[in-house]
Structure 1
Amino acid sequence: MVSSLLHQPIDIGTHTLRNRLYRAPLLECAGNGPDAIETLISDLVPAARSGAGLICQGATIVRSPGGCAAPEMTYVDDPKFVADLQQLTDRIHDHGSSIAIQLEHGGLRSMETWHAGYRSTHPTLTQLAVSRPPPLLRLLDRCGFLNYNSQVLSTDDVYELAAAFGRSAGYAADAGYDIIHLAGANMGIIHQFLSPFYNRRTDEFSDGVRFLEVVYDEIRSQAGSIPIMTKVPAESAAPRVIRRRLTTADAIDICCRLEQIGFDAVVPVSGSVFWDMSIIKGEYPARAWNDDRFNSGYADAFGGRSRSKLVAFGNWVESLLYDFTPAWNAGLCAAVRRTVDIPVLAEGGIRTRGEIDRLLGTECDLVGLGRPFYAEPELPARLLSDRATADTAVVCENCNNCTVPQAAGEPGVCRTPAVLKRAGELRKAGAYEYEHTQDHE
């Protein structure tokens, strides 16, 4: 039996989590159709049933139309739809877990930038932009790889966007969500405000933290005392030719300022200024790219078969640059934790119980896993078990075959036979049977 802080409760703001293991945000691909809530229940409840202290619903968009970074993301700007999400939050609470909703807008990373088929069927949509797109991205636009028809936000527009975050947070609080989680990284619009690569404004929002401060005030106005946390990016993986970027020191400073504003927790993550494999790391997903079932979806997304092959080649190059590194955000999280007095959440490449125990109490206060849940929806039962050892590991092989098909509108599921076989063997052995007595006082 392994002894650690993992089973100990922890407070995020005014809310107490039963333990320190959480399901990190993933793309649920639920959309807003008639099956959306059942899809979310199917994806998220297993993590609660198997003991996770916190389940983070993946990025949801605060204003329509547009703004989705990937197909079938869920909008949360309709109060009636969000009210129905209480079916989900009730199910999570029935199992003793807590749930956070991650709020986002894609800005320049939205589908109207990169998805050819979506652009052709939504020709009037424009991207919300913090500033005029950077020169390098405008070059990609001229070469036909991206498509920018952006609306640079005025000062009044920024306040209106912040109000949209606040309204969605208010709807979510009424629907029973326990925590508001802002998507402050991975090149969404909050990241774009924070990043000097994107933000060339001359008004008060030239300081990207000011946008988060206004969003915070709007959430407090609309959702009361509900805890608020956010991801915070360091652009340490950006190519060296990119001189305007967020350094590790910048990310630490942002976290300190957010604590002063009143944020209840932070999730420091490293990455690039681009939407690339620095976010997920791991192997080149050859199986996914070569699966004939997805070819038409790739062609629709990237503008033809030849272009999708070019994107696949770029994906291969990125896999060489961003090889898998266990717990790759641990150093950044540790540096932040030394300077703030609010909980620091760590995610990214955490794959064993031994890593979890090493990180908790030193580098971070809570530990999250993401992609491994695609293969093991009830993974917490194994990691929280009294039978767990330091060598207890996820079955995920970091092959990324789960992620690429999402560009073609496919759900995020494990598609690697050897991984699924191992998960099936564990299920037959009863490894996913969870008992609440595993949560210790």
Structure 2
Amino acid sequence: MASIRLDDPVEIGGLTLRNRLYRAPLLECAGTGDDAPERLAAELEPAARAGAGLVCQGATIVSETGGCAAPGMTRVADPAFVESLESVTDRIHGHGAAIAVQLEHGGLRSMETWHAGYRRDNPNLQQLAVSRPPRLLRLLDTLGFLDYDAHVLTTDEVYELAADFGRSAALAVDAGYDVVHIAGANMGIVHQFLSPFYNRRDDEFGDGVRFLEVVADEIREQAGDVPLMTKVPAETAAPPGIRPRLTEDDAIDICRRLDDAGYDALVPVSGSVFWDASIVRGSFPARAWHDDRYRDGYADAFGGRIRARLVELGNRLEATWYEFEPAWNAELCRRVRDAVSVPVFCEGGIRERGHIDTLLGDACDAVGMARPFYAEPELPARLLGTNVSGDERVVCESCNNCAVPQVTGAAGVCRTPSVLRRAGSLKMEGAYDEAPEMHAGDADDPVG
């Protein structure tokens, strides 16, 4: 059997992507103002122009209020606003790429839990919760680091939330989005349904997969037969002693059930039960924490300078615990790929073209990158094409200086001088000037 190459097309749910490299979801910080479509296009179009097969718009909130896990998230609840996003999808399609919208609700991870300034400005907002917050999180509430006023969803309200996902998907499809991507990991509300750490319900949704099944039904009913994908978490990186949690075997079983439920692609990821450095891994972002431009923003977010320093200390400890490991989700993806019939997408710590080639056809069917696009918006131009050597490596150093300032509402950009110098040198050398040659028919339509 011929080996699978990054340049080969891949099909998900009847949609043919021109290749197997995708821009994974990131926080675009575009908001929902009049300038949001242009800001989104400016963030997403470079990846499409450079040859990516699929470009994912990051976590996009399905509710009209609340549910944002970080400042600047875009909402897709207002029909008039979502219609304006057709300008974004048109620009992506103009380069022959497909575009996915990742639908999200933060639940207990929302800003009304952790962002002190946001809580102060929105005193009447409650978090939506799958069950009463776990005891450990209630302790952090007692100590003042979090602020829980959680509303536990009734069975009827769970169905209403699933319908919100369906309505948002329908609006997005009408605006030209090709794929609906459910944010099923990183401690959002979908993850909270799946996780036994969070979910202690005694109704049908005590089986967390049931929520994703109902979401799929709502999307099919309201948005039609759009390709549907989701992240699936294993909580293997949770600190010792944290129980109960999702094992790898649990995640594989969830993937089997979602395959049966009609999901067209799966993205297995390993992490913790908390919103912590297990999501990104890598170095402690000292430059970002010590940047005077963000000190006031950190204090506002975390409830004062002392508490901001305590969060910084926690981040330092997490960076030691969650060291960077290349392609840290590869083994989980490999096990899932052996168990399901749909494509498996792998992301998390993938940094080299040669490594990508070993993953394809073994651990996964497509590979995604996220943070490297902050430093190299047109990264696919260097990784795709018939003339690559296999030695190509992203300039990203996984230092996380791009991520921490986002709690203040700052844009997601690379802030590390050595990385920016390398990207600048590559640009001067013309490394991003031309997109790789595409397969016949891809230039006009991502379906091919």
| TM-score interval for Structure 1 and Structure 2 normalised by the shorter chain | over 0.9
Structure 2 counterpart of 1:80, one-letter code? A
1:12-27 matches, within 5 Å, as 12-27=12-27
- Provide the residue aligned with 2:209 in structure 1: 209
- Provide the residue aligned with 1:400 in structure 2: 400
Query: Which stretch shows the higher mean deviation, 31-40 or 128-137?
Result: 31-40
Q: Aligned partners of 1:250 and 1:91: how far apart in 2?
A: 40
Residue 382 to residue 4, structure 1, CA distance change in 2 (3 Å): farther
Matched-pair contact (CA < 8 Å) for 1:47–1:380? yes
Q: Aligned partners of 1:47 and 1:128: how far apart in 2?
A: 34
Q: Aligned partners of 1:278 and 1:125: how far apart in 2?
A: 28
Q: Aligned partners of 2:386 and 2:434: how far apart in 1?
A: 10
Shift of 1:436: 4.7
- Provide the residue aligned with 2:146 in structure 1: 146
Shift of 1:391: 1.6
Matched-pair contact (CA < 8 Å) for 1:384–1:438? no
- Provide the residue aligned with 2:50 in structure 1: 50
- Provide the residue aligned with 1:117 in structure 2: 117
Matched-pair contact (CA < 8 Å) for 1:376–1:423? yes
Q: Aligned partners of 1:346 and 1:439: how far apart in 2?
A: 23
Structure 2 counterpart of 1:353, one-letter code? R
- Provide the residue aligned with 1:40 in structure 2: 40
Q: Aligned partners of 1:38 and 1:298: how far apart in 2?
A: 28
Root-mean-square deviation over aligned CA pairs:
1.0
Matched-pair contact (CA < 8 Å) for 1:60–1:74? yes
Q: Deviations 1:54-96 (Å, cap 9, x if unpaired)?
A: 0000000000211000001011000111111010000000000
Q: Aligned partners of 1:199 and 1:129: how far apart in 2?
A: 9
Q: Aligned partners of 2:439 and 2:301: how far apart in 1?
A: 45
Q: Aligned partners of 2:327 and 2:231: how far apart in 1?
A: 16
Q: Aligned partners of 1:247 and 1:362: how far apart in 2?
A: 22
Q: Deviations 1:120-174 (Å, cap 9, x if unpaired)?
A: 0000000000000000000010010100000000000000000000000000010
Structure 2 counterpart of 1:20, one-letter code? R
Structure 1 residue 133 and structure 2 residue 155: aligned? no
Structure 1 residue 424 and structure 2 residue 424: aligned? yes
1:62-141 matches, within 5 Å, as 62-141=62-141
Matched-pair contact (CA < 8 Å) for 1:8–1:440? no
Matched-pair contact (CA < 8 Å) for 1:7–1:440? no
Q: Aligned partners of 1:145 and 1:382: how far apart in 2?
A: 43
Q: Aligned partners of 1:392 and 1:19: how far apart in 2?
A: 17
Matched-pair contact (CA < 8 Å) for 1:386–1:438? no
Q: Aligned partners of 2:205 and 2:179: how far apart in 1?
A: 26
Q: Aligned partners of 2:320 and 2:179: how far apart in 1?
A: 37
Q: Aligned partners of 2:436 and 2:278: how far apart in 1?
A: 36
Shift of 1:361: 0.5
Secondary structure at the counterpart of residue 226 of structure 1: coil
For normalisation by structure 1, the TM-score amounts to: 0.98
Shift of 1:34: 1.6
- Provide the residue aligned with 2:256 in structure 1: 256
1:243-392 matches, within 5 Å, as 243-392=243-392
Q: Aligned partners of 2:215 and 2:181: how far apart in 1?
A: 12
Q: Deviations 1:168-192 (Å, cap 9, x if unpaired)?
A: 0000010010000000000000000
Secondary structure at the counterpart of residue 437 of structure 2: helix
Q: Deviations 1:222-246 (Å, cap 9, x if unpaired)?
A: 1000010000000000012112000
Identity score, percent: 68
Structure 1 counterpart of 2:246, one-letter code? L
Q: Aligned partners of 1:161 and 1:131: how far apart in 2?
A: 15
Secondary structure at the counterpart of residue 320 of structure 2: helix
Matched-pair contact (CA < 8 Å) for 2:63–2:77? yes
Secondary structure at the counterpart of residue 425 of structure 1: helix
Shift of 1:35: 1.2
Structure 1 counterpart of 2:398, one-letter code? N
Structure 2 counterpart of 1:404, one-letter code? V
Q: Aligned partners of 2:379 and 2:4: how far apart in 1?
A: 18
Shift of 1:440: 7.7
Q: Aligned partners of 2:421 and 2:73: how far apart in 1?
A: 29
Q: Aligned partners of 1:194 and 1:225: how far apart in 2?
A: 24
Matched-pair contact (CA < 8 Å) for 1:353–1:393? yes
Q: Aligned partners of 2:379 and 2:166: how far apart in 1?
A: 33
- Provide the residue aligned with 2:445 in structure 1: none
Gaps of 5+ in 2: 442-448
Query: Which stretch shows the higher mean deviation, 386-395 or 363-372?
Result: 386-395
Matched-pair contact (CA < 8 Å) for 2:62–2:75? yes
Q: Aligned partners of 2:237 and 2:100: how far apart in 1?
A: 28
Secondary structure at the counterpart of residue 425 of structure 2: helix
Shift of 1:435: 3.6
Moved over 3 A (4+): 438-441
Q: Aligned partners of 1:226 and 1:28: how far apart in 2?
A: 23
Q: Deviations 1:20-58 (Å, cap 9, x if unpaired)?
A: 000000000000012111110000000000000000000
How many residues end up aligned between the 2 structures? 439
